[in-house]
Amino acid sequence: MTIRDVLSDADERTNVQDADASLMRAARLHKKFEPLTIDLVPRPSPRASDVLVQVKACGIVPNVVNVLNYSLESVVSLPPLPAIFGLDAAGVVAAKGELVHGVEVGDRVYVNPIRYCGSCRYCRMGQHAGCEYSTLNGYFGMGSKALQMFQDYPYGGYAEYMTAPQYSLVKLPENVSFETAARWGYLGTAYAALRRASVDMSSTVLINGVSGTLGVGGVLFALALGVPKILGVGRDIELLERVKAIDPHRIHVHSTNSRISVAEWVRSHTDGCGADVVLDALPTGAPAEAFLAALDALGKCGRHVNCSGVLECVPINVPKYTVSSQTLIGSCWFTTAQGQEMAELAASGRVNLDVFENRGYALEDINTALAEVNERKGGFSNFVVLPDERRSK
Ligand SMILES: [Zn+2]
């Protein structure tokens, strides 16, 4: 039995919370198209193989607005209401179940939101995206049985505490802040896509949508993986220059406002060969033409990996990619193991995550944050909710 208590005064909320440690504050959606409300709900206890995480930061990814306004309802399933959303949470382990080993209370962790059954054919092969229960906790479900995962794990990161299975935890090094870790989902999506496309120290990588939230992550991890030449395509000249400034010798940028086509530009940088790898990181709703313009720049024997938000059907020139021995790859999310690899790249200094501008919001300001997320400066902005911070008066 939950206790709903919408509070308007921050002091009153503080007093209620302090008076009863069995409760926690959570931002919940009660009804479609209405603002989130701050509710006091029972603080969950971890089951045997789960941990309880005190959330220190949770990302407000640009696409969460599309999720909360139900514009993606035709392609994904959403949790039953009232629901606590919040995709990318990072925090401190506050308690653990009796079957959890190797994780201790006080550990700094990122909670990978991917949930799956663990026992189906795909899960046994480590291919969790194929699981019918496949769900992004606090966000949406991809599998036909996602509702079960929403019932098992109803706590997203827009709350003071959440439960998480032990298999979901990425241990964070000291040099990764909670705010940066709340970006792990988009960074990990880009990292996994690069790994699936087998990029290495000889690859030329074209990133379509380079200055967006996924694109900037792709640049940072392509650099970390030793890619010698990154070709970035975007619209906004100022943002493109900012991307180039990350590593002017290895990054080249091109605006789609140019009269030169993407394919022509890429060939001019690759002795006419085209890119070895195309990472498509276009935002949700981007048109098919923008996708095809980058695909056209893929060289022979190249790999195209898509983690874009293109929703419409794209006409593919089948004979061309067949005779060119090209590979088309779809890539959704990343594994906890890959999340840990990223943490280790950060710990060793191989990846530089200092480029982000963090903008933090108290939990009670979450509706303001959702309204302001479109003010971001491309992929360099990092909007986060900080559940244990109080609204400044
Ligand atoms: Zn499964």
For 55-108, how does the pLDDT look when each residue is reduced to its tens digit (9 = 90+)? 999 999 888 888 888 777 777 899 999 999 999 999 999 999 999 999 999 999
Specify whether 157 is located in the same domain as 199: no
How far apart are the CA of 199 and the centre of ligand 1, in A? Answer: 28
How far apart are the CA of 371 and the centre of ligand 1, in A? Answer: 36
Rounded distance between C-alpha atoms, residue 22 and residue 126, angstroms: 37
Mean pLDDT of 284-310: 96
Specify whether 319 is located in the same domain as 204: yes
Rounded distance between C-alpha atoms, residue 149 and residue 117, angstroms: 8
Provide the β-strand partners of residue 148: none
Rounded distance between C-alpha atoms, residue 195 and residue 363, angstroms: 35
How far apart are the CA of 88 and the centre of ligand 1, in A? Answer: 21
Specify whether 171 is located in the same domain as 201: no
How far apart are the CA of 305 and the centre of ligand 1, in A? Answer: 24
**324 part of a folded domain:** yes
122-156 CB burial, b ≥16 within 10 A, e <16: bbeeeebeebbbbbbbbbbbbbeebbebbebbbbb
Specify whether 77 is located in the same domain as 150: yes
How far apart are the CA of 112 and the centre of ligand 1, in A? Answer: 16
Asked if residue 168 has pLDDT above 60, the reply is yes
How far apart are the CA of 167 and the centre of ligand 1, in A? Answer: 14
**5 part of a folded domain:** no
How far apart are the CA of 327 and the centre of ligand 1, in A? Answer: 26
Specify whether 167 is located in the same domain as 58: yes
Asked if residue 383 has pLDDT above 90, the reply is yes
Q: What pLDDT, on a 0 to 100 scale, did the predictor assign at position 392?
A: 57
Q: What percent of the chain has pLDDT over 90?
A: 83
How far apart are the CA of 139 and the centre of ligand 1, in A? Answer: 18
Specify whether 33 is located in the same domain as 169: yes
Q: Which tokens is 329 given? A: 């790859």
Range of the domain at 207: 190-330
Specify whether 128 is located in the same domain as 72: yes
How far apart are the CA of 169 and the centre of ligand 1, in A? Answer: 18
Specify whether 30 is located in the same domain as 159: yes
CATH number for the domain that contains residue 137: 3.90.180.10
Rounded distance between C-alpha atoms, residue 277 and residue 33, angstroms: 40
**351 part of a folded domain:** no
How many domains is the chain built from? 2
CATH number for the domain that contains residue 221: 3.40.50.720
Specify whether 161 is located in the same domain as 21: yes
How far apart are the CA of 120 and the centre of ligand 1, in A? Answer: 4
Provide the β-strand partners of residue 29: 83
Is the pTM higher than 0.85? The answer reads: yes
